[in-house]
Structure formats: C-alpha cells, structure tokens
Structure 1
Amino acid sequence: MRARLIGLVDHMQAMLDLGVDIHLITVEAPHVSIDPRFASVTQLPRQAPQEEFVAAAVLVAKEQGAAAVITFVEMDIEIAETANAAMGNTWAAVEAAHICRDKLRQRTFLAEHGIPTVWFHPVSDIDTAVAAAAARGLPLILKPTRAAASEYVELIDNPDRLRAALRQIQDVVRDRRAFYYDNAERDWALLEEYLPGQEVTLDGVVLDGEFILGGVHNKRHSTGPYFDEDLYTLPFDKPEHEAELVDIATRIVRGLGMRLCMFNAELRADADGRYRVIEFSIRVSGGHPYRHIKDVYSIDLVRMFVRAACGESVADILVQENHRRPPRMTVCAKVIYANGHVVRNSPGEAMHSPYFRVYFPTARPGTEVVAGARGFDYTGLLSVWMPWQPGQDPAVVHAVATDLATKLDFEVRPSR
C-alpha cells in the first residue's frame, strides 16, 4: 500500500487478528518503519514506477514465504495482481486490474457485456473533446480515467469550464499526482452522460467465483458540479433494490473472470429509477464502509478474503465465518472538508458521545487542505452508530453525524 494507510486501520487489524504477518511496501514517511503492525517495511521512492513496486513485492514475498500480495488501495491493485501472478497464484487477475484502473476500459467492458452503463466519449485532445461535447449537448460529466474517490469529477455546463477542467486533468497526468497515472495514456479523460438519481456504493467479496454481498451504502445525493463523498449510510434505504444491484455485481465479476477478490461498485439511478454502473473495482471501499458492514450485518469481508488469499479452504471459511445477518443498527460516515492550514484535528468531545464510533484525522496539524471548488482533500472521517428500526429515514442518522462533527476538536485557519 503505497500511501493512504490511515483509513485502513480496520482492514489491517483484521489481518492481525488472523495471525497474519504484514510486510508493508510503501512510500510513507520513515516513521512507518517502527509501526508494530508491520513485520517489516520496505520503503521505495515516491517517484518509483509500478514495475519497481511489483519487483519489490515479489522479492519480499519470496524472502518471507508469503502466500499472497494484498492491497486495499485502489491505485495499487495492478501492482498486487501482477505480483500475485508472478508468484504463481492462479486466482490473480492482472487484466481485470487493468480494466478496473481505467474508466475507459470499464465503459468498454460494460458495453461489451450488456451491463447497464452510460453514453461516454474518450478524451485524448481538448479541442476534440469540446467539439464532442457540443455535438452531444451539455451538461456532461467529465472525469479522469485513472483517479479515485470522485477526485476531478465535475458536471460541466459550458465549453470554457470544460477546457479549464481538461487542462487541470492534464496537470494531474503530467505530475503523476496521487499515483493515478504511471505512464502517458492516449485517452486520459472521459465525457459521460449524467444520471440524476440516487447514488450507492456496493461492497462484497468473491470466493471461488461467487459474489457474496456485504452491504449497499446510501450516499449523499449531489447534483454537482462536484461530487464530494459524504454521508455513507447503512442500512440501504431501498432494500427491495438489493437483488437488482447484486445481479449487476455478479455479471461484472463473472465477466472479469474473477475467482478471488474484494469487490466494490458505484451505481447511480437514471431518470427511470434503474441503476447503472458508475465504476467498479476489485477491492473493498477504503475508510469506514468495511467497518460499517461488519457492525450492521456481522459479515467480515476482509477476514473472509484474507483467509482465502492465504490458502485456506473456501468451504471451511463459509462454515466458520458469519454470514450476512439482518441489520442490527444504523451507521453513517461524515467526511470533514475544509480549506486552509490545519491547527488542530482530533476527536475532542465527540468521543464521549454514545453515538461516536471512530474518527480518522486524515490531515495532520501543520498541513494545508483544500476542498470543494479548490480541491478534494479529506480533513477527517467521522463514523457514528445508533439504534435503528426498519423503515427509519437515513436523515435521522445524518443529523446525528452532522451534529457530532461540530464537537470535534478541529481548527483550520485561512492559508496565508
């Protein structure tokens, strides 16, 4: 996991609870080397290409007798699958990882397999993209082909803004920002049809080729122009649509030929209320969704996946691990966005509330953060839980999360 470790506390704890030794390959600061969760830490330069991370992963795995290379980070799934293939793990899916990391390949894959998708147009040149947008008609969604967490995704309603946003994505490609782009792709952005309905995120695990649902999170509804991630909530408020969503996920997994993986998909309803795929990947959501699914439904997706990746029998796993149970509470993740210089960032008084679950202060004091029209930084991730009754409106837990966020010990001053 090259970076973004702070939102993966629960994922790594699941591995430790299983007695798994974790040998980390990362670019994170040297202090990670004394983190007791890791049996060893291999530090590579931030600018090192993916091939060097693959080689390091294979070397460490062979030296340590490791069963598998595992990542929970979207930007690293190609590294993990390529390394697993080199180690001889027959379930490794290198081509599937390439598809998941490139939204143009995803769109092509969905269309070829008859899976609900949207109109799209690949972008390799700004002038051609502006002409294509004019022919199709604005507004349209613009997104990079290889970003994550809705970064640089925008609903564009005029040609001048489209040009500016395309130049911004070109900067991301040129600077190799956030490990999104490793090489110069011919098509580096997409224009897509906008879907006006509810957006959800689905997570599950694939064992012996069978998709097992973990949960479907509601997300804050946004009409743009930006699509900040926020208010991830369980249980899903439209359980009658779960079968439709599971069918779509199953078709993707089978089309990819997956035997073993975590799986995540973002879907959004069209004007007729039918869900279509926004994107998908062979990993579980980072941050709170994994914890939420375990809290609400009792099923432990990461534990099941890690046991199988370490070579345990799937039949034994299915007998010994909890299956998905009816929901027993409601949970909500509130993302903290801010602009400026971070002075303080900790749970504060919020941690004394019975509704408090956890707070990840993703921005350290002394750092700068930008959000909204200026950027996509998370300053913190707050998770709450509370009692729930069938049919309860998600707005109830949204209000609790929003109120508890005001009790965090959090200060961001304007940047100079």
Structure 2
Amino acid sequence: MHAKGGPPLGHVLSRTAARAEVHLLALSALPPAVAGSARRLCASVVTPAGAHRSDLVSLIVARAEAVGADAVLTFSEYAVVAVAEACEALGLAGAGGASALARDKRLMRRTWQRHGLSQPEFRPVGTEADLHAAARSLPGPLLLKAAWSAGSTAHQIIRSPHEVSAAWARSCDVMAESARLGYAELHVAEADADYVVEQIVTGTASDWFDEPGWGDYVSVEGVVANGTFHPVCLSGRMPTVEPFTERASITPALLARDAQDRIVDLARRAVDALGLRDCGTHTEIKLGADGSMWLIETAARFGGAMTVPQIEEVFGLDLVGMLVDHLLGHPVAWPEQVLTPAQARGAAGSLVVLAVDGRGRAWPVRKVWDFRAVSADITLSRGSRLSVVEESSLADGSVVPVYDPAAGANTMAALCLLSAADARTVLRDFETLVDALPRVLPAAQPEEVSV
C-alpha cells in the first residue's frame, strides 16, 4: 500500500516485484517520476475514491481478498497501523496488534517507561492547558511533538513558560497544513490532536566519534521476524537543523565496536518492549556524555528517505526483498549479528536540501533548485558519485522553499544520494555541498518568488 513518506516508491516496487506479483493500492498520487514504471511492474494499480477511505482497514482487507494476496505491506509511516490491523484481520504476517505502540509517541514512551528504558522525561498533552501544566512540571528546555507525526513535523522548542501558547498554536497549524499535503496519519481519527512534550537531553557526539562533524544521534536499522529482532546496521547523522530536522543520514556510522554493541543492546530492548512481530524497524538513539544514551523513537517499518538503498549499496542486502520473502513464508538468512564499518563496501548517504547553511542560518537570497548546476559546479572527493532522487525532489527550475523550523522536512527542496569510498568522505562531501549550495544555485527572480 502506497502513501506519502518512506523509501522511494520506485526502489521498493522494483525489489518487491522481483519477488512476487504486486498489486498496488495507492492512497497518495504516484510520483510522476515512477508512475510509468509502477504500472509496468504491478499487476494492478488501484487509487480508491475518497468515499472508500473512511474505513481504511476494510478497504485494505477487501482489496487483498479480491487479488488473493499472500502478504500486505507498506513502507509509509502514515499507513503502518492500518496495514498491521488489516494483516491481523486477514491472518497474514505483519507488525501485529502492538503496531500502534511504535506509532503513537505517547504509547511508545509509556511502554518504555514501564520497562525502565532510558529516555527523556515526558508528558502526554492534548490541550494547551495540558502543555502549560507539563511545562511547569518538567525541567526545560522542552520539545513539543505531535504524537503521530514524522519527519520532525510540528516540533517546537519551549525554553520558557511564556512560549507555551505560541508553540501550541504553531504546532496545531503545522499539523493541519501537513494533513492537507498528505503527510498525516491515515487510520487513527483525530490523530492530529495528540501531542507529547519531553525534556531536551544534551547530546555529545565527541564522546562517540573520533572526528568532528557527526550528529549526536544514530539509528539502528533492523527487522523483526517471528517476533525476534535482527539488527542489521547503524546509520550516522550530520547535526540536525533547529529544532531537530534531519539533514543527512550516512551508512555506516563510524563507531567503535563496543560502542555499537551498547547502542544495539538498547535498540533491542526498545524493540522487544514494543512486542512487534514481522516488520522492518528503525530505532533512533540520542548519544550523550560518558556513554549515556536516550531512546528517541522506534518505527515499525524501515527507515525513510534513502536508508534502505544505502544499506543495499553498502552491505549488499536487499532488505525490501528479504522482508517480502519472509512475509511470504520463505526462509531468509538475516545477519547473525549487526554489521560493522569493517564489513562495508564503501559508504553512502542521503542529504536533504534545506535553505539553510551549515550553521542552520537561512540563505539570505531565495534560490532556484537546479541539480545540473550542483553536479557541474561543486567539486567533491575523487570517486564520489552524486545523484538526485527525482521522485523526492522538486523539478529543476522550482523555487527552493524557505526553511520553516516547525514544518521540518516539509520544506525540503530535494533529496540527494552520495556514494563514496568511506563514511568520512561522505560526511566531508556533504559539508562541502551544504556550504556551496547557496553559491551555485541560481537566484530566484521576483516574479518566481511571488507565485
């Protein structure tokens, strides 16, 4: 089932179609860059009318029964719960009845709290009054999050009680706009009214990485098969853009083996606590001083953007195809233990193009996205290869959106993929790109900005 978010549709469809006959239920418009190939790869493509979407689980079940589906899967965060419930109704392998625990940040944190797992202090909030009360009881600064959001959407930093009302209003406005754009939970009614506020813990990348430039959090990519968690690898990050918008993911993360093992152990306990059954997983962990760690969140699906293609390039694992095989009941040889940088064949990373410089400051002049200019005018390391993910990017000639801290990744201009000899090179090349983009991209004309 296709909806917005997740890995590029072209990538997951090609890998799925290589293992099975595919019937696509499209709840979001197919990206123009892959619409043609999607229809060639799929035995059927159905886009239901709005009137048939009110009971999403029944819609999925009916379509699955109509085509005789042996497995149902999605790679979109916004459809995870609906697909899991449909699989339960159909008697098919899936994330299981606990899928909402890996989707609703309030339930997730309560579950981890019961298991004594390390995470920031938090409070669920449903009204502005709840937020005021939480701000009085939690040590600041605080981060307000929409409980069902993704991509850092609607995040608001609250540094003093005087900022509570404005933060609440802004988050609610952003969630409403995200829903209009199709970036919203598809199954749970009124999910945009649910929030959680949590203490902002202090990360320290320098205690974990040997060189500067890395962000202070990582993600553990993995899969749950028959209820058993299989960690695959770790991905590192560049520092986020305020408040916490992700700029770049890099595979593998350059961590010492003992540090990687401790991170994986926390991820394993986090995933096990949620009780997931058959699904991809993506667990983000904040890294602190003196070996301290805090769970950020776990998803019952593979990492979005280019995480899955990066793993395939670097470690030679087609995670999409492997998960399809598992859901169809075929034996799969999951990694016996988490893969390390020593086992990597080079490195790969994905960069979200945002209209901010390396220090998070807005570009002084509006720019037009033009990948041809980027590839022609920016010199990267010898052997590095840069490409643009067309289905996740604006067309050349489009005005780059102004970065909106509250909207997060909703204001991205493009998604780029870079392959290089090692992770250090990917990190340095991304730093070069971020610094050079406002210089090499053409300036937008006044008439373009006003449109």
| Same fold flag (TM > 0.5) | yes
Aligned equivalents of 2:90, 2:367: Cα separation in 1: 43
AA matched with 1:40:
S
Does the 8 Å CA contact 1:25/1:57 hold for their aligned counterparts? no
Aligned equivalents of 1:6, 1:259: Cα separation in 2: 21
TM-score by length of 2: 0.79
Distance 1:230 1:173, change over 3 A: closer
Query: Please, which runs of 5 or more residues in structure 2 have no aligned partner?
Result: 204-215, 356-362
Per the TM alignment, residue 381 of structure 1 is displaced from its structure 2 partner at its CA by 0.7
The structure 2 residue matched to 1:106, chosen from 108, 113, 127, is 108
Per the TM alignment, residue 267 of structure 1 is displaced from its structure 2 partner at its CA by 0.9
Aligned equivalents of 1:273, 1:341: Cα separation in 2: 42
1:133 aligned counterpart, secondary structure? helix
Does the 8 Å CA contact 2:351/2:417 hold for their aligned counterparts? yes
Per the TM alignment, residue 286 of structure 1 is displaced from its structure 2 partner at its CA by 1.5
Per the TM alignment, residue 283 of structure 1 is displaced from its structure 2 partner at its CA by 0.2
Per the TM alignment, residue 123 of structure 1 is displaced from its structure 2 partner at its CA by 1.0
The structure 1 residue matched to 2:198, chosen from 192, 197, 206, is 192
Which residue of structure 2 aligns with residue 27 of structure 1? 28
Identity %: 23
Aligned equivalents of 1:283, 1:411: Cα separation in 2: 39
Aligned equivalents of 1:115, 1:68: Cα separation in 2: 33
Q: Deviations over 1:47-78 (max 9, x none)?
A: 86562x32222222112121111111111101
Q: How does 1:223-238 map to 2 (within 5 A)?
A: 225-238=242-255
Distance 1:5 1:274, change over 3 A: closer
Does the 8 Å CA contact 1:347/1:409 hold for their aligned counterparts? no
Per the TM alignment, residue 151 of structure 1 is displaced from its structure 2 partner at its CA by 1.2
TM-score by length of 1: 0.85
- Number of positions where the alignment pairs a residue of Structure 1 with one of Structure 2: 407
Which residue of structure 1 aligns with residue 259 of structure 2? 241
Which residue of structure 2 aligns with residue 360 of structure 1? 389
Which residue of structure 2 aligns with residue 310 of structure 1? 328
The structure 2 residue matched to 1:262, chosen from 260, 280, 293, is 280
Which residue of structure 1 aligns with residue 8 of structure 2? 7
Which residue of structure 1 aligns with residue 81 of structure 2? 78
Distance 1:215 1:405, change over 3 A: farther
In terms of fraction of residues, the more strand-rich structure is 1
Pick which of 63-72 and 20-29 moved more: 20-29
Considering only aligned residues, what root-mean-square deviation do their CA atoms show, in Å? 3.4
Aligned equivalents of 1:30, 1:202: Cα separation in 2: 28
Pick which of 11-20 and 336-345 moved more: 336-345
Which residue of structure 2 aligns with residue 371 of structure 1? 403
Aligned equivalents of 2:371, 2:426: Cα separation in 1: 26
The structure 2 residue matched to 1:132, chosen from 134, 138, 142, is 134
Aligned equivalents of 2:134, 2:416: Cα separation in 1: 41
Does the 8 Å CA contact 1:67/1:311 hold for their aligned counterparts? no
Which residue of structure 2 aligns with residue 179 of structure 1? 184
Aligned equivalents of 2:193, 2:291: Cα separation in 1: 31
Q: How does 1:257-336 map to 2 (within 5 A)?
A: 257-314=275-332, 317-318=333-334, 326-336=343-353
The structure 1 residue matched to 2:430, chosen from 370, 377, 398, is 398
Does the 8 Å CA contact 1:24/1:38 hold for their aligned counterparts? no
AA matched with 1:41:
V
Which residue of structure 1 aligns with residue 69 of structure 2? 66
Query: Please, which runs of 5 or more residues in structure 1 have no aligned partner?
Result: none
Aligned equivalents of 1:66, 1:114: Cα separation in 2: 40
Q: Deviations over 1:327-361 (max 9, x none)?
A: 12122221112499986554556289742243124
Per the TM alignment, residue 40 of structure 1 is displaced from its structure 2 partner at its CA by 1.6
Does the 8 Å CA contact 1:226/1:372 hold for their aligned counterparts? no
Bigger relative contact order, structure 1 or 2 (CA pairs below 8 A, ≥6 apart): 2
Q: Are positions 1:385 and 2:419 aligned together?
A: yes
